[in-house]
Structure 1
Amino acid sequence: MIPYGSFIFFFLIGIFLLPTIILGLLGKSSKIYNMLVSIVILAVIFGNSKTGAISIILFTIFQIALIKGYHYYRKDRNNTVVFCTMVLMAILPLVLVKVLPLLGLNHLFGFLGVSYITFKAVQMIIETRDGLMKKQTLPMGELIYFLLFFPTVSSGPIDRWKRFEKDVNKTFSKEEYKELLYLGINSIFRGFLYKFIFAFLIYNKILVYLPDHATYIHSPFWANVAYMYVYSVYLFFDFAGYSAFAIGVSYLMGVKTPENFNMPFISKNIKDFWNRWHMSLSFWFRDYVYMRFVFWMTKKKWIKNRYTVSNIGYFLLFFIMGIWHGLEWHFVIYGLYHAVLIVGYDYFDRWNRKHKLWPKNKWTHGVSVFITFNFICFGFYIFSGQLFK
């Protein structure tokens, strides 16, 4: 069963989380019960595929072995080769998922959510390396719960271990849980509005008729322009709706999963956009790819110009983000396109700070939003693959 894909799924969640809500309103902890519910819901999600069920079990065991093993090793040792080996091993199954189908080969770890579990595992290994969890215990039950937290297991948002663990081990007061319950229900209803009304209507009433079957737009060029804007809006409502569901259900379970979207289409520049769009993924790549690369290059001093290091870091970040979506050319080009936009904006921003030819006022802000919106939509047009048909 696809998470949040049908009303049956929501009905099951409502039934299973009723005791959670009652305990929360009584000011009591539902941690153990929620762990059991996660197992049951995961069984519902993966139960119709024997291969998928076996895959997620073996994959989780593999990742936990890496996390626990490196955590034990890091208590008194810190070898870079060991660290890099652990990270590469953690991402290896995800790489195989992306590469093997192109070679016509089957893969074992091709289940829903493999990417987001991988991100969490890599995050924990890196933070262990940094010493953030060196003295911290990693309870097995909570570790499994974190990796397989069912509201976010398939498509995020990506939570951080320390923040997640803090919520899981906190017993909210009646008043605090009432606030969580209100926010959670509000988020779920926003998800219904976005995904099952806006996204559904945009896709079925407009998008399916563009651009190949445009009824009222006889020009192929303008049909594709219409597709670009409609697809961008559809993509936002569809994904933001899913994220709202995941966040809302998390809140009902006492976990304040971070937001994933913050009005991205009013971004004033491309950097602002990536601080608003799919924020948990954007921040993950920023912290664990871009910042790591910049720190490493600065430390090694192989390239002395910090702007050059930053620009290479952006291309690395968005190239990886592109191929994470898929190895098809339109995903690769989508990633590189955003790298060019970021580097170009950085150059313009430095130039403008020196020459001050683009003042900051409400008019230039409005123009900036308009320009950024169009660049974003063209990026989503690349992402859709329609440009290359």
Structure 2
Amino acid sequence: MINLQPYQNPQYFILLLVALLPLMFGLYHGHRWRIYESFVSLLFLFFIFDAEKTNQGIALIAYTVIQTLIVKCYFSYRTNKKYNNSFWIFTLAIVLSILQLVIVKFTPLFAHGHDSIVGFLGISYLTFKTVGMIMEIRDGAIKEFNLWKFLHFLLFFPTISSGPIDRYRRFIKDYDHVPSQDKYVELIGKGLHNIFMGFLYKFLLGYLFGTLWLPQIQQLALAQRHTVPFGISIYLIGYMYCYSMYLFFDFAGYSLFAVGVSYLMGIETPVNFNKPFAAHNLKEFWNRWHMTLSFWFRDYIYMRFVFWAMKHKLLKSRIAMANIGYLLLFLTMGIWHGETWYYIVYGLFHALVLILTDAWLRFKKKHRQHIPSNWFTKYFAIFMTFNTVCFSFLIFSGILDKLWFN
């Protein structure tokens, strides 16, 4: 059987192009054929969850029904003036919305490594979408709920497996609007460019770093774990850089495919990466790396916690509240990646470095006349940020667990 998992092989792209041609023809002539677009989405979702992944497909169907009921019920409650829009009802909606994801994330911890039967590919990204909607409904930003549009937003197949994470209002604005012919031609050009860049990133550079080089370097690093202190060898350092490059090119490649295909469908899905290794500090890095995820965590966890803490005057110092917000944010992000110690340490490491980064930026602003700023300091900052990020990816990779505990 041909593997038709998202963006895995040439057959998938050929079938995708054939399926999208009628839709592209319609968009070029000013028509969005929504029924056909929905058919294509369902077809490719079927390809993702066929055969041995049938159980995941069933879990997706159940998840979609549950999330639709949660969002619809909360929207009806929030827009009904008879009710006082209780914070506890809002909290209940959030808890119910993330419940299936929590079960999936923590099942391996209590079931000896077995995956949850309610999990499926892309459950995290779909949950981020629905939680974001619930929060925006509470804010009064979402004024209407349309079942058809909600389902299309939630199950938009180009982004289901690896993101980017879109926002409902932004998505629906594109979905309701048919771009002009000139605009759509521009989107086609950008879409094809992203797709070909995705081929370069994932199938060439990602293959070189992840398939050809990384296993060999890992084997050499593990072979020396008993001959050097703490297993820190030149091969481990090489593994750190090789893994970081693989992680970037593989993930950025997937994101480029998703954005490119979205453009061909007339949806300007936000980009996910913007030269992250050119960042001058870790704060800037998170404004460039997996941007839709980092912005989601920033807007819906960090900012809301800080505003809530300020409103209730938990601490007098805004700096202290911001620092606690960083710890909460990245601890949550670490646990989201997995319940193992190295994901949690990865998150706490980023929180600590961000706290230090903020302290340095405040000091730099206060003493700017005494701190040099030139091409050397600029590139030195990039160099230090790059190595800090690569070290965090070394933690994230889990190889230290193999070196020290196996």
- TM-score normalised by the chain length of structure 1: 0.96
Contact 1:29–1:172 at 8 Å: present in 2 too? Answer: no
Map of 2:339 onto structure 1: 327
CA distance, structure 2, for counterparts of residue 214 and residue 276 of structure 1: 30
Map of 2:117 onto structure 1: 108
Q: How does 1:259-270 map to 2 (within 5 A)?
A: 259-270=271-282
Map of 1:58 onto structure 2: 62
Contact 2:255–2:272 at 8 Å: present in 1 too? Answer: yes
Map of 1:247 onto structure 2: 259
User: For structure 1, which segment, 149-158 or 1-10, has the greater mean C-alpha deviation from structure 2 after superposition?
Assistant: 1-10
Contact 2:274–2:289 at 8 Å: present in 1 too? Answer: yes
Deviations 1:223-269 (A, max 9, x none): 00011011111111000000000000000111000000000001000
1:21 partner letter: M
CA distance, structure 1, for counterparts of residue 55 and residue 183 of structure 2: 41
Contact 2:104–2:119 at 8 Å: present in 1 too? Answer: yes
Contact 1:31–1:168 at 8 Å: present in 2 too? Answer: no
Shift in Å, 1:207? 1.0
Deviations 1:318-361 (A, max 9, x none): 00001111111111000000000000111111122223343332
Paired positions, count = 387
Q: How does 1:1-389 map to 2 (within 5 A)?
A: 1-48=4-51, 49-75=53-79, 76=81, 77=83, 78-104=85-111, 107-133=116-142, 136-213=143-220, 221-356=233-368, 357-389=370-402
CA distance, structure 1, for counterparts of residue 282 and residue 170 of structure 2: 28
SS at match of 2:220: coil
Shift in Å, 1:55? 0.3
- TM-score normalised by the chain length of structure 2: 0.92
Shift in Å, 1:214? 6.3
SS at match of 1:268: coil
SS at match of 2:233: helix
Q: Aligned in 2, Cα 1:19/1:102: closer, same or farther, shift over 3 Å?
A: same
CA distance, structure 1, for counterparts of residue 339 and residue 258 of structure 2: 27
In structure 2, the gaps of 5 or more residues are none
Q: Aligned in 2, Cα 1:121/1:11: closer, same or farther, shift over 3 Å?
A: same
CA distance, structure 1, for counterparts of residue 326 and residue 203 of structure 2: 35
Contact 2:279–2:288 at 8 Å: present in 1 too? Answer: yes
Shift in Å, 1:298? 0.3
Contact 2:174–2:267 at 8 Å: present in 1 too? Answer: yes
CA distance, structure 2, for counterparts of residue 385 and residue 305 of structure 1: 36
CA distance, structure 2, for counterparts of residue 259 and residue 284 of structure 1: 13
Deviations 1:62-97 (A, max 9, x none): 011111100000012311000011101111111000
CA RMSD in angstroms, aligned pairs only: 1.7
CA distance, structure 1, for counterparts of residue 141 and residue 116 of structure 2: 34
CA distance, structure 2, for counterparts of residue 54 and residue 147 of structure 1: 16
Shift in Å, 1:305? 0.7
Deviations 1:96-155 (A, max 9, x none): 00112211176332100000000000000000001111xx22211110010010000111
Contact 1:28–1:172 at 8 Å: present in 2 too? Answer: no
CA distance, structure 2, for counterparts of residue 35 and residue 168 of structure 1: 12
CA distance, structure 1, for counterparts of residue 189 and residue 363 of structure 2: 47
1:258 partner letter: P
In structure 1, the gaps of 5 or more residues are none
